[in-house]
Amino acid sequence: MTNTNSNINTHSVDVKLTNLLKVFPSHNGGDNFYAVDDIELDIKAGELVTLLGPSGCGKTTTLRMLAGFELPTSGSIHIGDENVTNVPPNKRNVAMVFQSYALFPHLSVFENIAYGLRINKVPKGDVIDRTYKVISLMHLEEFKDRLPSQLSGGQQQRVALARAIVTEPKVLLFDEPLSNLDAKLREYMRDELRKIQQRLGITSLYVTHDQTEAMAISDKVVIMNHGKIQQADSPINIYTKPNNHFVAGFMGKANFLHGVVKELKNNMAMINIFGKSVLIRINDKVKLTENGPVECVTRPEFWEFSDTGKFIGQVTRTIYLGNHVEYEIAIGDDTISMMDFEHFKHGIKQEGDQVTLHLKEECVSLLPTRKEYIKEGLA
């Protein structure tokens, strides 16, 4: 599709990674390192997909293979209809925004942005026109003659983005682009970045280890660990319907509780947790048997103080955080973490206080037992 809403023309294309494998041979005769272990990923035209995971999970390697800086050991990469697996990085027309911005220190802001156009032999007049368009889009007019060293971090970030989009690339790649900014600016730039990406409609792949960032900007979040995709889904499904223990634990805080299935009927399961019965909707990825074990994910905000609650516990730790209070509460032999956003109504509990808790049962999700997802190769 052609995006005509903005003054920069882009043609959105699909991206397809098939059986992508990247093995780094070991140097000391040990096992090879499977940086990216046989992954499949489809990115629809105009989508922003985030690769999220701990360091060493293979997300950056995947991104660099798409850019052409790493060659896959096997598998293929398609951008649109073209197989680019063996196309050199300077012929791919994918633009990358680097973690360190990688601005050319000896060139002015204007020349940094114009660089890609000049390299691609765009006629001189067009270079100036297009560069100015992007400069005004990114609000960089007053900095255009400065050197990168004379810019603040946020300004450098904008130059880096401007330099990437000016060539009207098929795909935009982001390698943790906001990790060098302070918290406030990071949030602001995150929203700016998403707005521009949506406005231009450029298919984008975004690498980060910050889950909030991933949630905030993505059409689809891909959680990776040990070179494998753990789950690729919309942000809401990732959070509320995690595939496995890793995804549930990585995205947000989670209390993992072990329960026993008492009864199965329709699409609901009666599960015994801490000696109390709770009714939870069944997830079709999970096979349950009556009297069998099950792992439940309860987020801290699924719990609330309520005099009519089923669970009785004791506060072991109180952390006041302004808009909410975090508690650690011992129930039986287990400890759960909970968040209370209504502390101004019923006060702040002290360590040692006895409390009654209600669990919002409709929110709880079930996980396959470890055995099951080892079988599926997800561990």
Partner 1 sequence: MANIPPSTNKIESKVNGQFKRMKMLIKEPYLLALIIIIFLSLFVFSVYPIYQVFKITVINDEGIIDFSLIVETFSSSFFLKTLWNSIQLGIMSAIFGTIIGFIFAYAVTRTEMKGKKFFNLVALLPIISPPFVIALSVILLFGRNGIISNGLFGFEDSNVYGLRSLVFIQTLGFFPIAYLNLKGVLEAIDSSVEDAALNLGASRWKVFSTITLPLAVPGILSSLLLVFIKAIEDFGNPMVIAGEYQTLAVQAYLQITGMYDLRAGSFYAVALLLPSLTAYFIQKYWISKKSYVTVTGKPTQTREKINEKHIVMPLFIFCGLITGAVMLIYGTVLWGAFVKVWGVDNTLTFDNFKYTFTLGFDSVKNSLLLSALSTPITALLGMIIAFLIIRKQFIGKKIMEASSMLAFAVPGTVIGIGYILAFNQKPLLLTGTAMILIIAFTFRNITVGIEAGTNSLRQVDPSIEEASTNLGASSFTTFRKISLPLMKSALFSGLVYSFVRSMTSISAVIFLISVNWNLLTVTILSQVEDASLGAAAAYCIILIVIILIVIGLLEFFVNYLASSKRRNFR
Q: Decide whether 26 or 277 has the Cβ nearer to partner 1.
A: 26
Q: Per CB under 8 A, which of residues 179..218 are in contact with partner 1?
A: none
Q: Decide whether 105 or 275 has the Cβ nearer to partner 1.
A: 105
Interface residue with partner 1, options 77, 84, 95, 278 (CB under 8 A): 95
Should residue 120 be labelled a site residue for partner 1 when binding is judged by CB under 8 A?
yes
> What strand order describes the sheet that includes 303-305?
303-305, 354-359, 311-320, 325-331, 334-340
How many residues are there in the chain? 379
Residue type, position 62, single letter: T
Q: Which two tokens mark 186?
A: 């990071």
d(CA 326, CA 322): 10
d(CA 194, CA 366): 32
Should residue 344 be labelled a site residue for partner 1 when binding is judged by CB under 8 A?
no
Q: Please report how close the Cβ of residue 115 comes to partner 1 at its closest, in angstroms.
A: 6
CA 120, 122, 128, 134 torsion-angle sign: negative
Q: Per CB under 8 A, which of residues 296..315 are in contact with partner 1?
A: none
Q: Decide whether 38 or 326 has the Cβ nearer to partner 1.
A: 38
Q: How far apart are the first and last CA of the chain?
A: 39
CA neighbor of 213 nearest in space, from 240, 186, 232: 186
Interface residue with partner 1, options 6, 7, 100, 316 (CB under 8 A): 100
Could you give the angle at the alpha carbon of 45 between the alpha carbons of 44 and 49, nearest 5°? 55
Q: Please report how close the Cβ of residue 57 comes to partner 1 at its closest, in angstroms.
A: 15
Should residue 124 be labelled a site residue for partner 1 when binding is judged by CB under 8 A?
no
Q: Please report how close the Cβ of residue 83 comes to partner 1 at its closest, in angstroms.
A: 15
Should residue 26 be labelled a site residue for partner 1 when binding is judged by CB under 8 A?
yes
CA neighbor of 284 nearest in space, from 178, 366, 187, 206: 366
Should residue 125 be labelled a site residue for partner 1 when binding is judged by CB under 8 A?
no
**Among the candidate windows 7-15, 81-89, 270-278, 307-315, which touches partner 1 by CB under 8 A?**
81-89
Q: Decide whether 20 or 214 has the Cβ nearer to partner 1.
A: 20
* Dihedral angle of Cα 208, 105, 10, 200, to the nearest 10 degrees: 50
Q: Please report how close the Cβ of residue 364 comes to partner 1 at its closest, in angstroms.
A: 33
Interface residue with partner 1, options 6, 54, 82, 119 (CB under 8 A): 119
Q: Per CB under 8 A, which of residues 36..75 are in contact with partner 1?
A: 37-38, 67, 69, 71, 73-74
Q: Please report how close the Cβ of residue 72 comes to partner 1 at its closest, in angstroms.
A: 9
> What strand order describes the sheet that includes 293-298?
276-281, 268-273, 255-265, 293-298, 365-367
**Among the candidate windows 98-106, 214-222, 333-341, 365-373, which touches partner 1 by CB under 8 A?**
98-106
* Strand stretches in the chain, DSSP E: 15-24, 33-43, 48-52, 74-79, 82-83, 94-97, 171-175, 203-208, 220-225, 228-233, 255-265, 268-273, 276-281, 293-298, 303-305, 311-320, 325-331, 334-340, 354-359, 365-367
Q: Please report how close the Cβ of residue 71 comes to partner 1 at its closest, in angstroms.
A: 5
d(CA 111, CA 261): 65
Should residue 126 be labelled a site residue for partner 1 when binding is judged by CB under 8 A?
no
Q: Please report how close the Cβ of residue 116 comes to partner 1 at its closest, in angstroms.
A: 3
Should residue 115 be labelled a site residue for partner 1 when binding is judged by CB under 8 A?
yes
Q: Please report how close the Cβ of residue 28 comes to partner 1 at its closest, in angstroms.
A: 11
Should residue 163 be labelled a site residue for partner 1 when binding is judged by CB under 8 A?
yes
Q: Please report how close the Cβ of residue 154 comes to partner 1 at its closest, in angstroms.
A: 18
d(CA 36, CA 72): 9
Q: Decide whether 67 or 280 has the Cβ nearer to partner 1.
A: 67
Q: What is the binding site for partner 1 (CB under 8 A)?
A: 19, 21, 23, 25-26, 31-32, 34, 37-38, 67, 69, 71, 73-74, 86, 88-91, 93-96, 98-100, 102-108, 110-111, 115-116, 119-120, 163, 167, 377
